[in-house]
Amino acid sequence: MGGKVKQETKPARINSLDALGPYIGQQDNAKNFVYISDIPQLCKDEPCMLGVDEAGRGPVLGPMVYGIAFCPLSKKDILKSLGFADSKQLTEEKRDQIFDEMNKKDYATEALGWAVEAISPNTISMSMLRRTKCSLNEVSMNSAIGLIHAAIEAGVNIAEVYVDTVGPPEKYQAKLKDIFPKFKITVAKKADSTYPIVSAASIAAKVTRDHALKVWQFRERPNEEENSFGSGYPGDPTTKKFLGEVDLVFGFPRLVRFSWSTAGNALDKKAYDMEFDDADDGKDAKSKATYGSEKLSKYFSASNNESRKRNEYFRERCLEHVVEF
């Protein structure tokens, strides 16, 4: 009798930096995913501040990650103890260290919680290119609002919300105030540099995105070398080289946001031109068949020169079509 095969299971909770990569690696990178940390009891019992920020808005590659962090107003000194600052101003090693400590240190886990939504490149591209377009700003706001709702549903006692703005801060703040009228809401530019709770959200988002790229699994290129695509920013030489490797028919793998002009320009230069029949294209649309098949509507209407014989069922029963009574 053979021995049992030990199956590797994904970590149920992210309680350290080491658990982050394996957790992300088990997710479908073509879809969004949301992760919410354990909610400290203090965050349920006492009024809390909540910060919102994102990472990866500008790159042509990889997910955009929205993050929130929350802690009681009475425990704001914890944020200073952990050394929160704008994640973009910290080295990757420092961000990883802070993320690890906020999930390990007792004084942090007893008063600080966080959540992220990783928005896949696939979702971003389809949202921006569909017929009823959804801008990146709308995608961003929807994610932020969804995470705040998730915190409320998890039992977080929110009193104040601080958000790093997307677009004009006044309009964004008014929008959030309409949705969450009971909260004190502040939307500002560079909020991650001004409010430590937003910095905490920024680090959760940035570290999650960094590790999402590290464990990215290519369905289209199974033999792709690890991190052969660089940072994802258009000015990165490694990213430029990666974008030069275009499949002439299918274009880029799902890692690439094909709604970005950088990706579109690369496709225009190398990939084959594609034409798709569209029912709304105009007069010639009626004569076209989508993907070589006949249109279903053909069987429900006769052309002007066609006289169709009525079905036998109706003829045998002498049934006639009545327009007026």
Q: Is 54 annotated as a binding residue?
A: yes
The answer, as to whether pTM is greater than 0.85, is no
Q: How many CB atoms lie within 10 A of CB 78?
A: 20
pLDDT of 325: 57
User: What is the CATH number assigned to the segment(s) 17-215?
Assistant: 3.30.420.10
In total, the chain counts a number of residues equal to 325
∠ Cα 306 307 312 (to 5°): 135
pLDDT of 3: 44
Angle of helix 17-25 relative to helix 92-104, nearest 10 degrees, comes to 100
| Per-residue pLDDT tens digits of the chain, which is 325 residues long | 344 444 444 447 899 999 999 999 999 999 999 999 999 999 999 999 999 999 999 999 999 999 999 999 999 999 999 998 766 678 999 999 999 999 999 999 999 999 999 999 999 999 998 888 899 999 999 999 999 999 999 999 999 999 999 999 999 999 999 999 999 999 999 999 999 999 999 999 999 999 999 999 888 776 666 668 888 887 889 988 888 888 888 888 899 998 888 888 888 888 877 776 665 555 554 444 444 444 444 544 555 555 566 777 667 666 676 666 5
Q: How many CB atoms lie within 10 A of CB 203?
A: 30
Give DSSP secondary structure letters for 221-274. -TTPPTT-STTS-TT-HHHHHHHT--BTTTBS-TTB-TTSHHHHHHHHHHSPP-
- Which structure tokens are listed for 286? 């009626």
Q: Is 277 annotated as a binding residue?
A: no
Q: How many CB atoms lie within 10 A of CB 159?
A: 15
**Residues 37, 156: contact at Cβ < 8 Å?**
no
**How far is it, in rounded angstroms, from Cα 276 to Cα 204?**
42
Q: Is 164 annotated as a binding residue?
A: yes
**How far is it, in rounded angstroms, from Cα 264 to Cα 262?**
6
pLDDT of 89: 79
pLDDT of 7: 44
**How far is it, in rounded angstroms, from Cα 36 to Cα 151?**
8
Max intra-chain CA distance, the chain: 89
**How far is it, in rounded angstroms, from Cα 59 to Cα 49?**
30
**Residues 71, 79: contact at Cβ < 8 Å?**
yes
The alpha-helical segments, DSSP class H, found in the chain are 17-25, 41-45, 77-82, 92-104, 106-109, 121-129, 136-153, 169-179, 191-194, 196-214, 237-243, 261-270, 312-316
Compute φ and ψ for 107, nearest 5 degrees: -65, -25
pLDDT of 140: 96
Q: Which residues pair with 72 in a beta bridge?
A: 48
Q: Tell how far CA 158 is from the center of its chain.
A: 24
Nearest to 204 by CA among 271, 323, 118: 118
Q: Is 11 exposed, middle or buried (0-12, 13-18, 19+ CB in 10 A)?
A: middle
Distances in Å between the alpha carbon of 123 and those of 33, 64, 148, 190, 201?
Answer: 11, 10, 20, 26, 22
- Which structure tokens are listed for 255? 């890692």
